[in-house]
Amino acid sequence: MKVICPKCGHLIETRGDKNIVFCSDCSANFDLEQGKKIFERQYGALTNQAFTCLTQKGDYDRAIELYEQCLTIVENDLQAIIGIALATLYKQDFKNLNFDKIIPIIDKYEISLNAENTFLFLTFVEDVIKETNKYLRESNERLFKDGKCLSREYLNNYEKSLDDILDIISYFKDGITLCSEEEKNTFFEETNLNEQLEKLENKVKEFKEIHHEVLENEEELSDNRIIIIDTKSLKIYRAVMGVELFFAALLIIFLILGVTINVMFYYFMIIPFVLGAIVYIVYYQKFLKGR
């Protein structure tokens, strides 16, 4: 068990069989539960910071750095290991693919797929499947032109990635057999993970059967990132959602006025309702339909 001294902040490994812990750094005695709570709070803050970098800020190098710090504190912490693997996958681009790094990252540590870790592992498998499908979709839409790949470098990376993805799928299948049966069955009640893996595997095998040539005059993508955020569409979406929230607020106001002042206000509710519907229909027809 690991605890932190409340006086000097020193990390201490203790057996946890005594209620009082001695800190060799500052010679202080402190309560075991107090030291455990400080450790959990500080470690939780570190993992939250790493998770924010991974999922919200897109600062993948910083996320890897923070998760590696976590592993120096708690060895073989699967949450941190998965964080490193996902950050490594998310930071890749068409010229620097990282599918071949995923298995070595996991195998570097001693992981037991017990009841506690099974859910984390299976969720990780789902995340990798989603990211891989995005990569395959973007690859086929952007790396190929008139049936030919833009460049030899892109094609070599793409073909290698297909083999690496198949290795990952096989690795995941083996890993799933080692998971806690009870937790695995519960997870499978809510998701078709095996079906997702099979579907992805068949898709990749089909892609491997296709012979590609390279454009005579090779081309370069203007942006090698796999997922490019459409900032214009995002701004339009936010503006539309803002308008919809405004009309929703008007609906609530007219409803309250109808209850408290006069039932005639109920009839005014149709105005924001109709306007909100019109705004959404226009948005759908101009920006969503056909995507």
pLDDT digits (tens, 9 = 90+) for 70-128: 998 888 999 999 999 999 999 999 999 999 999 999 999 988 888 889 999 999 999 99
Whole-model pTM: value is 0.74
Helix (H) or strand (E) holding 2: strand 2-4
Block means of pLDDT (10 residues each) for the chain, 291 residues, are 72 73 78 78 90 91 95 91 97 96 95 89 96 95 93 97 98 94 88 94 96 95 76 68 89 88 85 88 71 48
Q: Residue 214's beta-bridge partner residues?
A: 149
Q: Distance between CA 243 and CA 283 in Å, rounded?
A: 11
Judgement on whether residues 158 and 170 belong to the same structural domain of the protein: yes
Judgement on whether residues 223 and 253 belong to the same structural domain of the protein: no
Judgement on whether residues 250 and 140 belong to the same structural domain of the protein: no
85 is a domain residue: no
Domain boundary among 206, 228, 250: 228
Phi then psi dihedrals of residue 12, to 5 deg: -125, 135
Q: So what's the pLDDT on residue 232?
A: 57
- Residues spanned by the domain of 270: 231-288
83 is a domain residue: no
Judgement on whether residues 194 and 113 belong to the same structural domain of the protein: yes
Residue keyed to tokens 């891989």: 132
Q: So what's the pLDDT on residue 17?
A: 66
- 135-151 pLDDT, tens digit per residue, is 999 999 999 998 899 99
DSSP 147: T
Q: Quick check: helix, strand or coil at residue 156?
A: helix
34 is a domain residue: yes
149 is a domain residue: yes
Contact 5, 25 (CB under 8 A): yes
187 is a domain residue: yes
Q: So what's the pLDDT on residue 18?
A: 75
Cα→Cα distances 76→71, 88, 179, Å:
6, 18, 16
Q: Distance between CA 245 and CA 249 in Å, rounded?
A: 6
Work out how many domains the chain is built from and give that number. 3
Judgement on whether residues 100 and 215 belong to the same structural domain of the protein: yes
Q: Residue 225's beta-bridge partner residues?
A: 93
